[in-house]
Amino acid sequence: MSGRIARRLSIAGRVQGAGFRYWLRERAAAHGLSGWCRNTPDGRVSAVVAGPSDKVEALLAECRDGPPAASVQEVVTDAAEDPGDTPFEIRR
């Protein structure tokens, strides 16, 4: 079993209006991860994901492709404060 980690993501490209947040919520739930995501004024999607390190890393890899309608240019990650063991949510 891998240790629990939390990562902040900043995802750039054609990610708003492409269903990225809903896709991310679905993928996070499939991996059993907690956290949140939201659109940012600069056109990115910002997120915090937390859970077992192997599951977080798997989701980060998926984010580099995103859903079919998206065109991801960059995924920047950094350590984040763990949001706790709550369901992944979309924030406004």
For the segment 27-39, what is each residue's pLDDT rounded down to a tens digit?
A: 999 999 999 999 9
Model confidence at 2, pLDDT cuts 50, 70, 90, reads confident
- The catalytic position among 14, 38, 39, 92 is 39
CA distance 14 to 32: 26
Considering only CA atoms, which of 58, 48, 57 is closest in space to residue 82?
48
Catalytic residue among 7, 21, 25, 44: 21
How many residues does this entry show for the chain? 92
- Tens of pLDDT, residue by residue over 50-90, are 999 999 999 999 999 999 999 999 999 999 999 999 999 99
Residue 8 annotated to the active site = no
92 as an active site residue: the answer is no
What does the block give as tokens for 85?
Answer: 């063991």
Tokens representing 63? 């984010």
CB 28 within 8 A of CB 89: no
Strand partners, 66: none
CA distance 25 to 35: 9
pTM higher than the cut 0.85 = yes
